[in-house]
Amino acid sequence: MRNLRLALAQTNPTVGDIDANTDAILSAVKNAATSQPNIIAFGEMAVTGYPIEDLATREHFVASAEAAVNRLAKKLMEEGYGDIAVVVGHPSLAEENDRNGWAIAHNTVSVLLNGLVTQTYSKQHLPNYSVFDEYRNFVPGTTSVDFEFQGLRIGLAICEDIWQAGDPVASLAQKQCDLVLVLNGSPFETDKDDRRTALVQKVASTTRAVTAYVNLVGGQDDLVFDGDSFVANPDGEVVGRAAQFAEDLLVVEISGSPSNATLVSPHAAHKLDDDWQVWNALVLGLRDYCAKNGFKSVVLGLSGGIDSAVCAAIATDALGASSVYGISMPSVFSSDHSKSDAADLADRLGCNYFTVPIERMVNAFEDELQLSGLASENLQARVRGVVLMGLSNQHGHLTLTTGNKTELAVGYSTIYGDSVGGFAPLKDVEKTMVWRLASWRNKHAEAFGQVPPIPENSISKPPSAELRPGQIDQDSLPPYETLDAILERYVGLHMSPVEIAAEGYEPSIVSKIVGLVDKAEWKRRQSAIGPKITGMAFGRDRRLPITNRFKE
Amino acid sequence: MRNLRLALAQTNPTVGDIDANTDAILSAVKNAATSQPNIIAFGEMAVTGYPIEDLATREHFVASAEAAVNRLAKKLMEEGYGDIAVVVGHPSLAEENDRNGWAIAHNTVSVLLNGLVTQTYSKQHLPNYSVFDEYRNFVPGTTSVDFEFQGLRIGLAICEDIWQAGDPVASLAQKQCDLVLVLNGSPFETDKDDRRTALVQKVASTTRAVTAYVNLVGGQDDLVFDGDSFVANPDGEVVGRAAQFAEDLLVVEISGSPSNATLVSPHAAHKLDDDWQVWNALVLGLRDYCAKNGFKSVVLGLSGGIDSAVCAAIATDALGASSVYGISMPSVFSSDHSKSDAADLADRLGCNYFTVPIERMVNAFEDELQLSGLASENLQARVRGVVLMGLSNQHGHLTLTTGNKTELAVGYSTIYGDSVGGFAPLKDVEKTMVWRLASWRNKHAEAFGQVPPIPENSISKPPSAELRPGQIDQDSLPPYETLDAILERYVGLHMSPVEIAAEGYEPSIVSKIVGLVDKAEWKRRQSAIGPKITGMAFGRDRRLPITNRFKE
């Protein structure tokens, strides 16, 4: 066995932008060249971005991706990188269709060398749970692939392949591979990094091969790929780890035997603490949604409350203060502290800030329609929605909706009111975590000698929608600590109300909360997308009928 | 072989309402008893309703369904129907989980006899394309099942099982079954009835068995099950056919040999023409959405245009005129004919009708915000949305959004404006079909001596959003015949722009339309559900990223 220098490249592809994505791969190869790698691996579907969803069922799309891979191989050769093995993920047309002709493509990895595609492997285990629809959109591969390169035996795997028993891992172990390359499109979830590490260590130990895990980075709709690529040796040691939430290149040298894998590239990458990881995921999710969809600025309502404050801080971190437009829209029920806390926030962030009082618009509706109670409360929220969308349409801002996961769960929001917007930064962040993130962000600022962005008063005051005099959230909901605990059990863990009550929660409260969650499904269906950060996000992660009379 | 009397019962279950659904099965058995059947088959998942989506991943839900099946078997026995074999569909807990523990249940059929479950078969082919997510939610069965009853060999299959090669059909053919029962949850699509018939005839011919196809009926969110159960003999003859879009019971006698299957129940069921089928699907979809979600009335904007007129007519057919609230919301740009056509429509339907002028509300916003062009046009639509939602909240009406499939495709609507609502009757009806249905409905009324509901002027005038002076749709869009033809090719048939242009459509128009469709994905994600009537509806039938730079 000879020496081999391996590079893992975390690119941030945009779904469908095949030319830009292959250009990024070429650039990464050029940049890596100074480290003299023999082989460079990229993430799953780095050529097309991931997930491509039903684009996989369009023959023209898949053919375009395959053509781009062939052009890339030639281009690498022409530019003098023909002797580097470049390992890239992309869809490829399957020889046999299945499922009534729906799935026509494989989820494939190609090895490009000397201007040609020299190896092709197609994913055998297609995840079709949680947010993944791969069995819907791909034909599974049936053959494991390994090949000799520079005196080493190299095996290929794609993401879910190593989360399931059997081939390809079993086959690669049998073939005594020296190096296993695992290409991934693995979205961020809190605590998932530890599970990935343990899994890859197990693959390394099973196969007795250096095992390299390379992941995409970047936001794609409701998913955030966190990078965090790493290499483990057969003894289970993590040899090197790339940055989280940023494009990066990791270079490892394998000399003599798999156990002698050593880090080549200087790397300060270290694990961020949990809150910092979540914050980065939310920032990257929003930044990439804007960048990849052509938005240069965002608009959002600033109520003086904690949700809008945290959203504005995320937006400022993502886009810069000059690209954030905060609108205060006081009504007759708005307290003085609401207005002053909103102004204080905008001042701390340095973002744009405008006030649009809504009383006149609300009165115009109330004079025409006889509304009372909830209908009248919703009216105020909807007038604010119309204001934000008017400004969005006029100035081209993306509208952010500031609701959190807890609100979305129990339907504690006004559809077409505070829910308007193209992106929901806190969609998967429960209320208690919103507070925690606010405190974390302030402490983080202090640690770096900056002004804490969130007004202390927005963190400490009792939350209120301020849609009627003296209203606070806890008038109609249990304390948020209890509410979030029940929601985590019902939504996150699939527990039944009986099981939840058995843990000591008041049965009538559990029953009320579960009823609210079920009843709000129609609103969630019409809600904006937002970054998934937990094991069970609302959206394609949790698919339930609207019409559903099951009483747990 | 002895005589056997077979009944097929079309029930209309509500997803999750396990008690009511099993009660309906028991009632159907009682009602059928006068025809003295030996065996009665119900639709796929008749116990839980279909599709149950991720409810299938909740152990408590699946266990509840299994317990209900066992109770039903005992109850049938107690009430004197123990000797009738009752064949019902329901989820059942699988012995082995798969896919990281996500799918825990089978899609199962049980035979109830003498108070017991005597046979159990689990679906082997799980559809996971189009609107179906069965491979996500179920563990496939691995064993074909047939059994002896009353001297006949009876085989079982579930829906997709007969659309795919191999078992169970191959196994049932080999076992020389006399009768094959196929339990289905097959949603309506135009022309699907012919495909089902041909398929069942093929199964009958392959197995040389009487083949009975029993389907659910009723609306469930975006799907409409059309019933239309039927029986084919081995010679390919359709012996009897149940009603479409209604609960029904079909009884067939098999005497001596499978070729001697004859109709017992008097049946006037006949195939409706295509427009009539679509109309019934739209009416049933809306009626059941209201009934199953507790809405007694609907509210919608009446613009004088064709879309709102057809929606109001569907609503009136579904719920009765007294449950329909039509609101005219004229602006300064509304023509006289808009107002008179809306009033004429309400008069013809006999529905409730109110006028709410929007000028004052629009002015209140315009005085606060400086809006122009599209932002100003959208404002009018959004003020109307706030009015409708205010009335909905105040009076408990379901809000209907009246947009059609063509608008939804190209994004020719205002999000949070004319798109507000919980249900979109025309979501899968392209504009040219809206006109055709209007004319059909009027002719149908005339044929039955009734007042044609749709004002002729709403059908014949050029369509306009009336958001600026003199505006008509064709200012910014090609003629609807061309537009719908291009959309059918791009959306329905997955053709690329190059392929569409090759059929003679102007390339620049094709390119513009395709660009509009791609760009409107974010709006479609937040749109209301509506009944699927075509092979490719917007919604879970077509899952594409919002962030998508692929230029075809």
DSSP string, B475-497: GTS--HHHHHHHHIIIIIS---H
- Give me the residue from A57, A393, A494 closest to B57, CB to CB: A494
pLDDT of B99 higher than 70: no
> What does the pLDDT average to over B319-332?
97
Nearest chain B CA: its distance from A307 CA (Å): 21
Q: What is the DSSP letter of B102?
A: T
Cβ contacts of B34 within 8 Å, gap of 6 or more? none
Model confidence band, residue B475 (pLDDT cutoffs 50, 70, 90): confident
Nearest to A298 by CA among A271, A321, A333, A325: A325
pLDDT at A123: 98
Closest residue of chain A to B49, computed from CA coordinates: A548
Residues of B in contact with A551 (CB under 8 A): 16
The answer to whether the CB atoms of B16 and A550 lie below 8 A apart is yes
Cβ contacts of A27 within 8 Å, gap of 6 or more? none
Residues of A in contact with B16 (CB under 8 A): 545, 548-551
Nearest chain A CA: its distance from B27 CA (Å): 20
Which amino acid is it at B376?
Answer: S
Q: Are B322 and B421 in contact (CB under 8 A)?
A: no
The answer to whether the CB atoms of B545 and A385 lie below 8 A apart is no
The answer to whether the CB atoms of B390 and A375 lie below 8 A apart is yes
The answer to whether the CB atoms of A59 and B378 lie below 8 A apart is no
The answer to whether the CB atoms of B64 and A369 lie below 8 A apart is no
The sheet that has A230-232: what strands, in order across it?
Answer: A146-149, A152-158, A179-184, A210-215, A230-232, A238-241
The strand ranges marked E within A123-173 are 146-149, 152-158
pLDDT of B47 higher than 70: yes
Average pLDDT, chain B: 95
Q: Which tokens in the block code for residue A128?
A: 């079709």
The answer to whether the CB atoms of B389 and A382 lie below 8 A apart is yes
Average pLDDT, chain A: 95
Percentage of the residues of chain A whose pLDDT score is greater than 90: 88
Q: Are A212 and A6 in contact (CB under 8 A)?
A: yes
Nearest chain A CA: its distance from B379 CA (Å): 7
Beta bridge partners of residue B220, listed in sequence order: B223
Q: What is the DSSP letter of A299?
A: E
Q: Catalytic amino acids of B? A: 44, 123, 159
Residues of B in contact with A548 (CB under 8 A): 15-16, 55
pLDDT at B242: 95
Residues of A in contact with B420 (CB under 8 A): 416
Closest residue of chain B to A357, computed from CA coordinates: B368
CA distance linking residue B15 with residue B188, whole number of Å: 17
pLDDT at B268: 59
The answer to whether the CB atoms of A394 and B416 lie below 8 A apart is no
Q: Are A49 and A43 in contact (CB under 8 A)?
A: no
Q: B168 preceded by cis ω (within 30°)? A: yes
Count of A-B CB contacts under 8 Å: 238
The answer to whether the CB atoms of A58 and B102 lie below 8 A apart is no
Residues of B in contact with A397 (CB under 8 A): none
- Give me the residue from B53, B360, B416 closest to A364, CB to CB: B360
Per-residue pLDDT of chain A (552 residues; tens, 9 = 90+): 568 999 999 999 999 999 999 999 999 999 999 999 999 999 999 999 999 999 999 999 999 999 999 999 999 999 999 999 999 999 999 998 766 678 999 999 999 999 999 999 999 999 999 999 999 999 999 999 999 999 999 999 999 999 988 999 999 999 999 999 999 999 999 988 889 999 999 999 999 999 999 999 999 999 999 999 999 999 989 999 999 999 999 999 998 777 777 888 766 566 789 999 999 999 999 999 999 999 999 999 999 999 999 999 999 999 999 999 999 999 999 888 888 999 999 999 999 999 999 999 999 999 999 999 999 999 999 999 999 999 999 999 999 999 999 999 999 999 999 999 999 999 999 999 999 999 999 999 999 999 999 999 999 998 888 888 888 888 888 999 999 999 999 999 999 999 999 999 999 999 999 999 999 999 999 999 999 999 999 999 999 999 999 986
pLDDT, one tens digit per residue, over B419-448 is 999 999 999 999 999 999 999 999 999 999
The answer to whether the CB atoms of A17 and B550 lie below 8 A apart is yes
- Give me the residue from B53, B102, B420 closest to A129, CB to CB: B102
CA distance linking residue A529 with residue A20, whole number of Å: 25
Strands B179-184 and B152-158: parallel
pLDDT at B179: 96
CA B323 to chain centroid: 22
The answer to whether the CB atoms of A496 and B60 lie below 8 A apart is yes
| Interface test mutation site (partner B, options A220, A325, A519, A550, max chain B beta carbons within 10 A) | A550
CA distance linking residue B150 with residue B1, whole number of Å: 8
pLDDT at B417: 97
Contacts of A262-271 with C-beta under 8 Å, sequence gap 24+, read: A263/A239, A264/A5, A264/A35, A265/A7, A265/A35, A265/A240, A267/A240, A267/A241, A267/A242, A269/A240, A269/A241, A269/A242, A269/A243, A269/A244, A271/A193, A271/A244
For residues A346-378, one letter each, b for 16 or more C-beta atoms within 10 angstroms of the residue's C-beta and e for the rest, the string is bebbebbbeebbbeebbebbeebbebeeebbbb
Q: Which tokens in the block code for residue B339?
A: 């107002």
The answer to whether the CB atoms of A390 and B367 lie below 8 A apart is no
Catalytic: which of A66, A75, A123, A189? A123
pLDDT, one tens digit per residue, over A277-331 is 999 999 999 999 999 999 999 999 999 999 999 999 999 999 999 999 999 999 9
Nearest chain A CA: its distance from B222 CA (Å): 10
Q: Which tokens in the block code for residue B90?
A: 């329901």
CA distance linking residue B66 with residue B89, whole number of Å: 10
The answer to whether the CB atoms of B394 and A370 lie below 8 A apart is yes
Annotation says A177 is catalytic: no
Nearest chain A CA: its distance from B257 CA (Å): 34
Nearest to A87 by CA among A133, A145, A140: A145
Nearest chain B CA: its distance from A260 CA (Å): 34
Helix, strand or coil for residue A120? strand
Q: B212 φ, ψ to 5°? A: -110, 125
pLDDT, one tens digit per residue, over B392-418 is 999 999 999 999 999 999 999 999 999
CA distance linking residue A147 with residue A159, whole number of Å: 19
pLDDT, one tens digit per residue, over A198-216 is 999 999 999 999 999 999 9
The answer to whether the CB atoms of B361 and A356 lie below 8 A apart is no
Cβ contacts of A527 within 8 Å, gap of 6 or more? A401, A403, A408, A419, A424, A427, A538, B526
CA distance linking residue A380 with residue A331, whole number of Å: 8
Which helix (H) or strand (E) segment holds residue B261: the answer is strand B261-263
Q: Are B473 and B346 in contact (CB under 8 A)?
A: no
Nearest chain A CA: its distance from B541 CA (Å): 9
Which helix (H) or strand (E) segment holds residue B68: the answer is helix B59-78
Catalytic: which of A75, A159, A407, A430? A159
A494, A500, A503, A504: CA torsion to nearest 10: 160
- Give me the residue from B292, B365, B420 closest to A361, CB to CB: B365
Residues of A in contact with B422 (CB under 8 A): 522
Residues of B in contact with A420 (CB under 8 A): 415-416
Closest residue of chain A to B524, computed from CA coordinates: A526
Residues of B in contact with A393 (CB under 8 A): 371, 374-375, 378
Q: Which tokens in the block code for residue A245?
A: 């939430």
3-state DSSP helix/strand/coil % of chain B, to nearest 5: 40, 20, 40
CA distance linking residue B263 with residue B252, whole number of Å: 4
Nearest chain A CA: its distance from B487 CA (Å): 15
**Could you identify the residue written with the tokens 């990024």?**
A24
**Could you identify the residue written with the tokens 């008893």?**
B33
Closest residue of chain B to A527, computed from CA coordinates: B526
Contacts of A139-142 with C-beta under 8 Å, sequence gap 24+, read: A139/A94, A139/A96, A139/A97, A139/A98, A139/A103, A139/A104, A139/A105, A139/A106, A140/A106, A141/A106, A141/A107, A141/A108
- Give me the residue from B14, B374, B382 closest to A549, CB to CB: B14
Residues of B in contact with A360 (CB under 8 A): 364, 367-368
Closest residue of chain B to A523, computed from CA coordinates: B422
pLDDT of B1 higher than 60: no
The answer to whether the CB atoms of A378 and B390 lie below 8 A apart is yes
Beta bridge partners of residue B400, listed in sequence order: B423
CA distance linking residue B220 with residue B85, whole number of Å: 28
Q: Are A201 and A169 in contact (CB under 8 A)?
A: no
Rg (CA), chain B: 25
pLDDT at A256: 75
**Could you identify the residue written with the tokens 């932008």?**
A17
The sheet that has A324-328: what strands, in order across it?
Answer: A352-355, A324-328, A298-301, A398-399
**Three-class SS of B297-312:** CEEEECCCCHHHHHHH
> Of A495-499, B152-156, B397-401, B475-479, where does mean pLDDT reach its minimum?
B475-479
Model confidence band, residue B266 (pLDDT cutoffs 50, 70, 90): low
Is A143 buried (19+), middle (13-18) or exposed (0-12) by CB count in 10 A?
exposed
The answer to whether the CB atoms of B18 and A550 lie below 8 A apart is yes
